Amino acid sequence: KDFIIGTVIDVTPSNWIMETGSPYDGLLHVSEYPKRVDSSEMRKYMDIGDCVIVRVKDVSKSMKVELTMREPGSRVLAKGRIIEVVPAKVPRVIGHSGSMVSILKKESNCDVFVGKNGRIWINGKADDMDHLAAAIELIERESHISGLTEKVGRFLRNEPETVAESDADELIEEERSTLPAKEDNVTEETCRKVDALLDDEVDEA
């Protein structure tokens, strides 16, 4: 099952209820916490607003999402930032055999965890996290291009773009600028019709 990053939105006598970025909230039963916790002390361990790395244990036919923290790596995220990307872009952020996420960690000097629900936790110095966040935005924006891992590596190292990358960026901008402006065309056509009607009224007068 997938590891995700959830946010605690409620605490009941037996469950932490988590928002998971999907239409269905997840339930983390107190028995799925790594240590024994008395129900009266649950908020001491996780409270509303806490972000947590959890694993999806099971999803029932009625879409009841059961979570667990009885897995290595599961923990409350006390520091760092959470960045969100479209879940469909997660494989690109991870890369083939983890190649992209390895570059992100190495070149940014930050800790990185990518949840399958599109939430990414990063932790490091403020400037490093700013630069890393910009790199993740670059991945999401240009996920369709080849050679992206190398481009992101150069971006994090503050190296200039290659000629090919610069040309590709210019080509994308040119394609965007040459797209037909449908709204403008409709507006011009409407104006012509209005002008024609006005001319007819003038002739009749």
For residue 194, pLDDT beyond 90: no
Q: Confidence class of residue 188 from pLDDT cuts 50, 70 and 90?
A: low
What's the CATH number where 22 sits? 2.40.50.140
The domain of 167 spans 81-176
Contact 136, 85 (CB under 8 A): yes
Beta strands in the chain (DSSP E): 3-11, 15-19, 26-29, 51-59, 65-68, 75-76, 81-84, 111-114, 119-123
In a domain, 188, yes or no: no
Do both 147 and 90 map to the same domain?
yes
Do both 102 and 128 map to the same domain?
yes
Do both 114 and 36 map to the same domain?
no
Sign of the Cα torsion 32, 36, 41, 46 reads negative
Q: Residues 135-183: pLDDT tens digits? A: 999 999 999 999 999 999 999 999 887 655 555 555 555 555 555 544 4
Do both 98 and 113 map to the same domain?
yes
Contact 55, 2 (CB under 8 A): yes
Q: Residues 16-30: pLDDT tens digits? A: 999 999 999 999 999
Q: Residues 110-123: pLDDT tens digits? A: 999 999 999 999 99
Q: What is the pTM of this model?
A: 0.77
Do both 71 and 94 map to the same domain?
no
d(CA 160, CA 105): 20
d(CA 93, CA 101): 6
